[in-house]
A and B are shown apart, each in its own frame.
Chain A
Amino acid sequence: MSWSREKTAWAFVAPCLFVLLSVAAWPLLRTIFLSFTDAQLEHMSGAKFIYWENFKALFSDKDWKQSVYNTLLFAACSVPCETLLGLFVALALHKPFKGRGLLRAAVLVPWAIPTIVSARMWGWMLHDVYGILNELLVRVGILSAPLPWTASPELSFWTIVMVDVWKTTPFMALLLLAGLQSLPQDCFEAALVDGVSKKRIFFRITLPLLRPTLIVTLIFRTLEALRIFDLVYILSNGGPKTMTMSVYARRYLVDYANVGYGSAAAVCLSLIVALITILYINVGRHRILEER
């Protein structure tokens, strides 16, 4: 019986597995292979094996270093910001009230809008001459003169962070809110009956119970932040100050048709992502073990 069960299981999994192997594993392996060649977009088959040449060139490129720095900085700024803001909003909304469904729908809109579209919308709102944000801020008196949000290389990096925070915070808040709602209510009731202060309840009960959810959402968000592409592609003028690893890799791969070199950049990005994932998982697990 167990033999036929295994057979059925594999038959059920096989189509999905086949597709995943051919559209995920195989291209990934090919990318790794191509990163060691001098493949060009127009004649990939005639590629020569050039060992570590691409990687050597990559590591000596100032722009690559800058884009690694930019990506890491972007993740380090946006993710904690989104998590903290999201947690704050989630805690505030963690009670039943009228119009909750409406709020939830409103909060989902920034997440559901295609990134390209939200980049375009913000690009328009942040236009240095006609943008409404400049106009409003100047009129209120926060700014003395309009800011070139997207045109200035220095500023546009922070603009990208801001738009990402706008797009993702509501979504984080909803995930954390769902996490909060799934926590056992009797713990909180018991604490309230015992007269524990709200601050203590948060730090001693809510936060530890929410930790698994927090860690998982944090991992997902960080990995997403590390591969950011769409926002940067639209909102920046493509200068090195805002370039991220994904943009860099794609630019060499497609625009400069240097598949070998672009693949090398993509492989490096994957390695960084994998490294950070492992780091996160180890830290998370370590904490969980401590608790037991």
Chain B
Amino acid sequence: MARSSPLRRLGFGLFCSIIVVLCLFPFYWAMVSSLKSGTEIFATDLWPKALTFQNYGTILQDASFGRSFLNSTLVALSTVGMALLLSITASFALARIPFRGRKRILLAILSVTMFPQVAVLSGMFELVRFFGLYNHCSALILSYMTITVPFTAWTLTNFMREIPKELEEAAIIDGASYLTILVKIFLPILSPALVTTGLLAFIAAWNEFLFALTFTLTNQARTVPVAISLLSGASQHELPWGNIMAASVLVTLPLVVLVVIFQRRIISGLTVGAVKG
């Protein structure tokens, strides 16, 4: 490739910087705002005059926020664990074992990922109440299966399809059963894909709002997004912005760290499901 002119390279650098600034500024602004004290938050300085962690103190001392942070973690992790467990065997069968009805199941799974969540809301409400899970974290784990299982099954199926057929056939000739092939050959090879898929499912569960808002009532069971949406001051027009921004930063930070570490993997996970659809 010919070296481009310095002017072009400068322009390209500028273009990239603009993209980065556009993407990160709201997050930066939330961070800056959260570090400002009292009334300084209403001034639009790009850097706080005096750093204070007062907002974080308020948020972290609030027992209900800590509780919702714990709830979010618990719900997201259990959701991911269960979704992966359910989808691993299913996606192996869907990707590698020819059987009648396979295409139909795949189509059904795909259509569930496309469905609006509201469509199952009343039926799910009934189900949650039937099991006595209302205002309970398990209600969220149950309802998040609707979102995560089709997604993980679909993504893993696509990952499994990428493994060369000869590998499976070599194992069959070596005398391995399907279960052995899955456990001894596919899962070790697919461990990066499992991490990716789990990560995406984690993000989906961590960020979910509609079910969390509907199936919980008290701070005992709330997740962070709901807690943040409900943070309010004395009246509608006096929102505690400093606290809200501090909470926002706290809930986003783990995700930002994950994204920075796994950016390459995340993209592979997103495209394996999307491009081949």
Contact = CB atoms under 8 A, between A and B. Distances in A.
Q: Indicate yes or no for A touching B, C-beta below 8 A.
A: yes
Interface residues on A, range: 35 or more
A113 B27 contact: yes
B142 interface: yes
Interface in B202-237: 203, 206-207, 209-210, 213-214, 224-226, 228-229
B165 interface: no
Contacts of A116: 207, 209, 225-226, 228-229
A107 B127 CA distance: 39
B47 interface: no
B158 interface: no
Contact of A109 (B120, B127, B256): B256
Contacts of A105: 259-260, 263
Interface in A156-192: 166, 170, 174-175, 178-179, 182
A115 B213 CA distance: 13
A44 interface: yes
B66 to A, nearest CB: 17
A65 to B, nearest CB: 18
Nearest to B250: A117
Contact of A12 (B44, B92, B114, B206): B92
Given A9-B99, A229-B210, A269 B119 contact: yes
Contact of B29 (A8, A114, A125, A227): A125
Given A23-B143, A121-B26, A124-B244, A273 B93 contact: no
A273 B86 contact: no
B89 A13 contact: yes
Interface string B138-168: 0000110110011001000000000000000
Given A12-B89, A27-B120, A219-B277, 5 more contacts: A106-B23, A109-B256, A114-B252, A254-B121, A267-B119
Interface of B: 12, 15-16, 19-20, 22-24, 26-27, 29-30, 33, 41-42, 44, 86-87, 89-90, 92-94, 97-100, 102, 105, 108-109, 111-112, 114-127, 129, 142-143, 145-146, 149-150, 153, 177-179, 203, 206-207, 209-210, 213-214, 224-226, 228-229, 241, 244-245, 248, 251-252, 255-256, 258-260, 263-264, 266-268, 270-271, 274-275, 277
